[in-house]
Amino acid sequence: MRPPEHWHLRQRRPSRRWPLLAALGALAIAVVAIGAWRWPSGGGEAQPQLASSVLGSGCQGGANCDQAPAADFSAGDVIPPRIRGRAAVVIEVSCGELLFSHNPDLRFAPASLTKIATALVAVDHTSLTDTADVQVNSALMAASTGSTVMGLEPGMRLSMRDLLYGLLLPSGNDAAVAIAQAVSGSVPAFVQLMNAKVAALGMQNTHFTNPHGLDETGLYTSARDIAELGRALLAQPELAAIVRTKRYQPAWDGAEVWNGNELLGSYPGAAGVKIGYTERAGQTIVAAAERGGRRIIVSVLSTWDRYGDATALLDWAFASTQRACSIR
């Protein structure tokens, strides 16, 4: 499902009596409106910020959501690129050095980035060879919620490995529920494990209410927290291998599952991790790439150009910084 168009301009028909003045007035209004949309107040080198109305206000940080953004960066001489996302961070994976931050601790709806935490909890409590008895009807889930699904049906028996591929490649909400039920017996019990996981990692700006990321009150994360969860996923070799896989054949009679992350195969050195979208969250992404012996991870929340933002930040990180971990 593609995000809706984000801007519509309608010009009034010029009056017959004053055609020139009407045309000039309409043009001035359009120029001012477009300028207000593209750039935040305050000028300078601040990052562009989308108005709350554009993406349904996925921010849960109160009044701070509408403040002009302040971009901070700590490495390199090259000015970071302008991005469309309302929050972002760039991290050197090997040591966790923060290279760039833009509203890193404000709370936004994560959409399917939630599934990063689902996968981490799953490998904490099960083996990838464990078998799950599926109770989820993906057709009903897709019809009732508009969910992306891997195609599960009640009565199937699949390995946890197959379910994790279905979770992280096509972003199957049915796989998320099946994993939760297999690990904890119920979705609420599994969500408790998810929140215990982020609490143990010291994260104060992330809270989960479900294992898939469909919009709900109380479901939020921050750019810093979700990037660190992505970094934790990359530290798990089996999960790291899954998120960089383009397609996978589960042990069933159905079709292969495909990875929806378009950076794989298009961005040099791309290594996953996860994309997401809901009307409230807008587009979201956690992206990782490897180059010259380095691995960089980027998170962007509440954007309408996740691939453009992630690519620009990755290019900047690789081009303008040395290995942050070796220059302390």
Residue 284 lies inside a defined structural domain of this protein: yes
Residue 238 lies inside a defined structural domain of this protein: yes
Please compute the mean of the pLDDT values over residues 53-73 and round it to a whole number: 46
Note the pLDDT of residue 138.
97
Q: Please give the mean pLDDT across all residues of the chain.
A: 83
Residue 129 lies inside a defined structural domain of this protein: yes
CATH of the domain at 255: 3.40.710.10
Residue 228 lies inside a defined structural domain of this protein: yes
Number of domains the chain is built from? 1
Return the active site residues. 112, 115, 171
Domain extent at residue 169:
87-326
Residue 46 lies inside a defined structural domain of this protein: no
> Over the chain, what HEC string results?
CCCCCCCCCCCCCCCCCCHHHHHHHHHHHHHHHHHHHHCCCCCCCCCCCCCHHHCCCCECCHHHHHCCCCEEECCCCCCCCCCCCCEEEEEECCCCEEEEEECCCCCECCHHHHHHHHHHHHHHHCCCCCEEECCCCHHHHHHHHCCCCCCCCCCCEEEHHHHHHHHHCCCCHHHHHHHHHHHHCCHHHHHHHHHHHHHHCCCCCCECCCCCCCCCCCCEECHHHHHHHHHHHHCCHHHHHHHCCCEECCCCCCCCEECCCCCCCCCCCEEEEEEEEECCCEEEEEEEEEECCEEEEEEEEEECCHHHHHHHHHHHHHHHCCCHHHCC
pLDDT over 60 at 314, yes or no: yes
Residue 14 lies inside a defined structural domain of this protein: no
Could you read off the pLDDT of 114-125 as tens digits, one per residue?
999 999 999 999
Could you read off the pLDDT of 216-252 as tens digits, one per residue?
999 999 999 999 999 999 999 999 999 999 999 999 9
Residue 24 lies inside a defined structural domain of this protein: no
Residue 188 lies inside a defined structural domain of this protein: yes
Report pTM. 0.80
